[in-house]
Copies of this chain bind each other. A is one copy, B any other.
Amino acid sequence: MEYMARKLLSIKIFDDEHKKKWKKTLIDNDFEVLCVSQFTLYNTWKGNKPDFHLAMPSEHSKEFYENFIEMLRSKYKPEKVKDGIFGAYMQVDLQNDGPVTLELESPAKTEKPSKKDQSAHVNKTTEEAGDILERQS
């Protein structure tokens, strides 16, 4: 978890002032982060149906996710880290800039070498457009 929080704040996915790509972090730009928990990213396929048995069970994952958000806030500015409502059905409105979507995975834990520990998709969005439109629990 510490790896993911540190990486998310350290990866250079923004242009510098000379429009050179992959030069600046979100901290360099004083940007906000919108985190949206999404267990569907951990899917496998069972025939034509998505299967989520590899994802962390919901009784553990809410606390895990909340700890992750807190860690991110403690490493950056708390007010810059926004999130959705865990487990809620939401409409997430985003404008993917590029489009750029990058996959970030934490290294597997030593006790479970065959599994990923945590997985995230990083979408570059325009400043105003990343937003959660509706919240329904």
Contact = CB atoms under 8 A, between A and B. Distances in A.
Interface of A is mostly: strand
A83 to B, nearest CB: 13
Interface in A15-67: 22, 25, 36, 38, 40-41, 43, 45, 48-50
A22 B40 CA distance: 12
A127 to B, nearest CB: 12
A19 to B, nearest CB: 11
Interface residues of A, number: 36
B22 A102 contact: no
A101 B41 CA distance: 6
A129 interface: yes
A43 B98 contact: no
A123 B43 CA distance: 13
Given A92-B99, A95-B133, A98-B90, A22 B41 contact: no
B94 A98 contact: no
B101 A38 contact: yes
Interface of A: 7, 10-13, 22, 25, 36, 38, 40-41, 43, 45, 48-50, 89-104, 121, 126, 129, 133
